[in-house]
Amino acid sequence: MNAKMYINARDIKSRINPEIYGHFSEHLGRCIYNGIYVGEDSTIPNTKGIRNDIVDAFKNIKMPVLRWPGGCFADEYHWKDGIGEKSQRKKMINTHWGGVTEDNSFGTHEFFDLCELIGCEPYLAGNLGSGSVKELSEWIEYITFGGVSPMAELRRKNGREKPWKLKYLGIGNESWGCGGNMTPEFYSELYRQYQTYCRNYDGNQLYKVACGPNADDYNWTKVIMEKIKPWHANAISLHYYTVPSGNWEDKGNATGFTDDEYYKTLEKTRYMDTLIKRHSDIMNVYDPENKIKLIVDEWGTWYNVEEGTNPGFLFQQNTMRDAMVASINLNIFNAHSNRVAMANLAQAVNVLQSLILTEGERMVLTPTYHIFDLYKNHQGAKLCYSSIDDIRQDGYDLPVISQSVSVNDKNEMTLTLSNCSLTESVSVDTDICGFDFSSAKARILTGKADAHNTFDKPDAVKISDFSEVTKTDRGIRFTLPPCSAAEIILS
């Protein structure tokens, strides 16, 4: 197949907020415990109980932001249970996720340590479902107030003199579901009350995120936008998971799927584009000045759990199919970066569409991780106009190629493209306007749809150099093999 691609570097659409490449870590299964956090006494190399190899991997993809402590868990989380002497911390039941005992050994201090080690922004999900206005207000005081106050004193007593900086604060998670089964009318009123008492202390400026819709619940967005104004919230969230079968009882398996399941999964993931467009249409009516942003703070694939694992732990393998899902979604988020300010893949380690899987001291980087590596040069860059022939996959409502192009402060042009066909290579010929370059470096991820990394074969799917790029009179030419995603940097 051949495709023509047009790029205009003079036609800048928006800035790609780095946080679009964000992540999510919940007290769920082995994401935090026996995942990111192994405790200081572990034989696995760690810093304050946090695995060093995981921190290094997160740093490599320039993880810009990490959401915590949930998810559904957030609306049952009482932050005061997770501070102070560890042996004295309250133990609770994690009712949402397997009914296991939560010993609260990973709490506020440990989360901020983790973000400091990674060098990323913390994004807290505050408890509106079963907490109180006072509890949330005090959490903000505990974290961000530098003067004399009960919460600042408590923080000092627990070993942290200086306040932390906190920008991103979600108030309620899935308040239409696990976060309280609320109506949008009721939630909006509650949100306005809660957010009033989340203060900006000592120059800290909170960026407040209200709970937005579940997938295509357009009425939720409409009501929220009617009632919540830019002086109440900086953004609303959107959650959408890709479930191959569309049936939550039998979602489909992470590996061993058919070609038809592969294409249907990608078709379903493309729906993200429609969702963002339609929710943005509603937001445009109530907020034409684009002051309230959209944050897709949960997205990714959701399959049946791996056989023999705790059904409440949501552990699944990750294949080249997931890599294609990630690549398509990141290109969609880039395309909508005028309204989409952040996105958080669910979840970082050992849960759903993970970046990393661990087993004891071993860890593997998933194909999805490699996509975040390939796409990292877009962070903070300016999205420029690009278009490509709309070749459709036979029998599916699915464009074969997905693409985005940006130019960053170092005057590098980054192209990311994926070819989701399982059988056809695509030869791409580009016309580039408004950008001079003399060198091209490129990397690629490719493999069979079902290819994945295991603890015995951790490098079955890995990035390799892509030497196919040639310069032409008007731009570049290259051929994308079937089931592949590539990054090309021109400078």
Residues 435 and 407 sit within 8 Å (Cβ to Cβ): yes
298 contacts ligand AHR (rule: CB under 6 A):
yes
Applying CB under 6 A, the span of 14-22, 345-353, 399-407, 481-489 interacting with ligand AHR comes to: 345-353
Minimum CB separation of residue 399 from ligand AHR in Å reads 27
CA separation, residue 238 to residues 127, 209, 369 (Å): 17, 11, 22
* Element containing residue 320 per DSSP (H, E): helix 320-335
Our CB check for ligand AHR shows the closer of 350 and 377 to be 350
Instruction: Rule CB under 6 A: choose which of 34, 94, 137, 173 binds ligand AHR.
Output: 173
Supply the minimum distance, in Å, between the C-beta of residue 333 and ligand AHR: 18
Nearer to ligand AHR, 26 or 273 (CB): 26
Tokens of 160: 């942290």
Query: Residue 463 in contact with residue 373, Cβ under 8 Å?
Result: yes
**What residue number has its CB nearest to ligand AHR?**
71
356 scored as a contact of ligand AHR (CB under 6 A): no
Among positions 346, 405, 413, 488, the unique one binding ligand AHR when judged by CB under 6 A: 346
The residue count for binding ligand AHR (CB under 6 A) is 11
Burial class (CB in 10 A: 0-12, 13-18, 19+), 382: middle
CB of 52 to ligand AHR, least distance (A): 26
Angle between helical axes of 150-157 and 133-144 (0-180°, round to 10)? 60
Which of 125/486 has CB closer to ligand AHR?
125
Report, in Å, the least distance between residue 25 CB and ligand AHR.
10
Q: Does 26 bind ligand AHR (CB under 6 A)?
A: yes
- Could you give the CA distance from residue 198 to residue 443 in angstroms, rounded to a whole number? 44
72 binds ligand AHR, rule: CB under 6 A: yes
The answer to whether 302 and 318 are in contact (CB under 8 A) is no
User: Segment contacting ligand AHR (CB under 6 A): 67-75, 78-86, 254-262, 305-313?
Assistant: 67-75
CA distances from 158 to 103, 127, 219, 390 (A): 18, 22, 44, 58
Would you say 79 or 263 has its CB closer to ligand AHR?
79
Peptide bond into 71 cis (omega under 30): yes
Strand partners for 208 = 169
Q: Three-state SS for 422?
A: coil
Report which secondary-structure segment, H or E, holds 256.
none
Residue range at the interface with ligand AHR (CB under 6 A); choices 69-77, 181-189, 382-390, 426-434: 69-77
Asked if 76 interacts with ligand AHR (CB under 6 A), we say: no
CB of 437 to ligand AHR, least distance (A): 41
Report the alpha-carbon distance of residue 430 to residue 472 in Å, rounded.
9
**Which span sits near ligand AHR by CB under 6 A: 64-72, 183-191, 417-425, 477-485?**
64-72
Q: Which stretch binds ligand AHR (CB under 6 A): 104-112, 265-273, 344-352, 438-446?
A: 344-352
Q: How far is the CB of 19 from ligand AHR (least distance, A)?
A: 18
Pattern 412-431, ligand AHR, x by CB under 6 A: --------------------
- Which residues, including other chains, have CB under 8 Å from residue 191's CB and lie 6 or more apart? 128, 171, 172, 210, 211, 228, 232, 233
Residue 31 contacts ligand AHR per CB under 6 A = no
**174 contributes a contact to ligand AHR by CB under 6 A:** yes
Nearest to 233 by CA among 297, 289, 188, 186: 188
Which parts of 233-339 are beta strand (E)?
Answer: 235-242, 293-301
Question: Catalytic amino acids?
Answer: 174, 298
Please choose, out of 157-165, 170-178, 413-421, 422-430, the segment that lies near ligand AHR by the rule CB under 6 A. Answer: 170-178
Residues in CB range of 226: below 8 A, 6 or more apart: 188, 286
For residue 260, what are its two tokens?
């038809």
Q: By CB under 6 A, is residue 242 in contact with ligand AHR?
A: no
For ligand AHR, give the closer residue by CB, 334 or 347: 347
Which of 70, 122, 126, 252 is close enough to bind ligand AHR by CB under 6 A? 70
Q: Least distance in Å: CB of 475 to ligand AHR? A: 41
Rounded to 5°, the CA angle 262-377-58 comes to 75
Q: Does 71 bind ligand AHR (CB under 6 A)?
A: yes
Which residues of the shown chain bind ligand AHR in the complex (CB under 6 A)? 26, 70-72, 173-174, 178, 298, 346-347, 352
